[in-house]
Amino acid sequence: MHVELHHITKTFGGLRANDALSLSFAEGRIYALLGENGAGKSTLMKILSGYQPPDSGQILIDGRAVTFETPADALRCGIGMLHQDPLDVPNLTVLDNFMLGRREGLLPKRKAARAALEQHAARLGFHLDPFRYVDSLTIGERQQLEIVRLLSLGARLLILDEPTTGISAEQKQTLFSSLKRLAAQEGMTIILVSHKLEDVAALCEEVYVLRGGKLVGHRHMPTSIDELVTLMFGQSLPPPARRQSALGEEILRAEAVSLTARRLTVRDLWLSVRRGEVIGLAGLDGSGQSDFLRACAGLQPLNGGRILIGGIPIRGKGYAELLRMGVAYAPSGRLEEGLVDGLTLTEHFALARAGGAWINWRAMTALAAEQIGRYNIRGMPHSPVQTLSGGNQQRALIALLPENLRLLLLEDPTRGLDVESTAWVWQQLLARRDQGAAILFTSPDLDEIVTYSDRVLVFCDGRATLVSDLAASTRNPAEQLGELIGGKVYEPR
């Protein structure tokens, strides 16, 4: 199947997201679509997959012009898209979600569907329990389920929007091997939309680069990462400088904590965090790092032990009370937990910052405009949050954090952000650290953990190991963390 986009244009108000874009995708090849946040990548792929129409331009499949009214129309033509936030139904099982979109009448064949689910999952090296509820899955597992569902519905061109977010290095290797096999042996076309240039280098054969809604580059791999960065941003970017902040009094203490994670129980966790300190939480998806973060925010109960903020035990305190104590939590699931689908940016700031029964909408609009500028959010105060790109939703989530915090709890704070935006967000977070806040954060990117953490808490097989000496190591720190995550016993120097 050969797919061409001819002069695709799409505008949202005064914003031209796609400006006469023309791209071509051949059968059996793997492409990358790159660009900074808001460059128009997701908009273009939503047009190709039937989620929204173009203002002008054509989509051609094997030389024939097609028009998609719905994603189902695109799937019938063999085009399916995995979104950065998977489109599933949380209160249904894996099997029920897998069966969505099938035309089987009033009595669907569940036994046959289960066999198909297991067959397609095994084809990709995934392990999905048909009877688990989707709201108990990790983001990585939800992405795997959606990939399997799209393939079962006949997708021949598969669009993957940030598919490696939230999955382990081993899961990524399995996914990439499967995608290469699908392209080489079955003639599928793969389009990877990603900000992780190392993923692009490892997987893709051709790269298209967008900037400001225009096509600014087309390269065949291998191409240097520096050249791709320059195409994306117009200049190369220096590596982030590492510096430490002066430490103050203890902010958080975990004593003999035991909690239930998705895959196991974490036991006997001890940790002390001081003002001005950044602690990275590392581990395979579902190993307990996100669960510990939620427990520190009062959002998940403990099986045993206790957590103290400023010397005060938090057992029995809800998130609202902890927020008044200077503790804030930003989740990985943006539209599921962090933001409200349907509300504008101004309305979000009114929810987060306005006090009392009356809202000064003029002041809230001014605040939204100020934070949009400060965090480089590509949107307007009146923009509904769901219309923003994934990266701009992430920046909005960070911008909504209250001022004067004592403790920031961040689950994958740069999820979906490009290199420049990642550096910008961390500049804002480290400014809060320098003002005296402590930061605990999770990330599937070990290089990010190494770059910004003073110490790292590694979760593996029900235990949490504190690593304090990565900066002094003569070996690659990310490789060392990977070994600890994989089960190697930590031997401090």
Instruction: Give percent of the chain above pLDDT 90.
Output: 48
Q: What pLDDT, on the 0 to 100 scale, is given for residue 423? A: 84
Q: Is the pTM of this model over 0.75?
A: no
Segment 287-307 shows an average pLDDT of 93
**Which tens digit of pLDDT belongs to each residue from 200-258?**
999 999 999 999 899 999 999 999 988 988 888 887 666 666 666 778 899 999 999 99
pLDDT of 486 higher than 80: no
Contact 30/190 with Cβ under 8 angstroms? Answer: yes
Q: What pLDDT, on the 0 to 100 scale, is given for residue 53? A: 94
Q: What span, in angstroms and rounded, lies between the C-alpha atoms of 348 and 381? A: 10
List of domains in the chain: 3-233 (3.40.50.300), 250-326+402-485 (3.40.50.300)
Segment 429-456 shows an average pLDDT of 91
Amino acid, single-letter form, for residue 67: T
Q: What pLDDT, on the 0 to 100 scale, is given for residue 141? A: 82
pLDDT of 178 higher than 90: no
Question: Which pair of structure tokens corresponds to residue 402?
Answer: 């209250």
pLDDT of 105 higher than 80: no
**Which tens digit of pLDDT belongs to each residue from 371-419?**
999 888 888 999 999 888 777 888 898 899 888 899 999 998 888 777 7
C-alpha distances out from residue 428 to 5, 297, 337, 399, Å: 38, 21, 22, 9
pLDDT of 106 higher than 60: no
Whether omega before 222 lies within 30 degrees of 0, making that bond cis, reads yes
Among the residue ranges 79-83, 125-129, 238-242, 250-254, the one predicted with the least confidence is 238-242
**Closest among 388, 380, 437 to 408, alpha carbons compared:** 437
Contact 167/285 with Cβ under 8 angstroms? Answer: yes
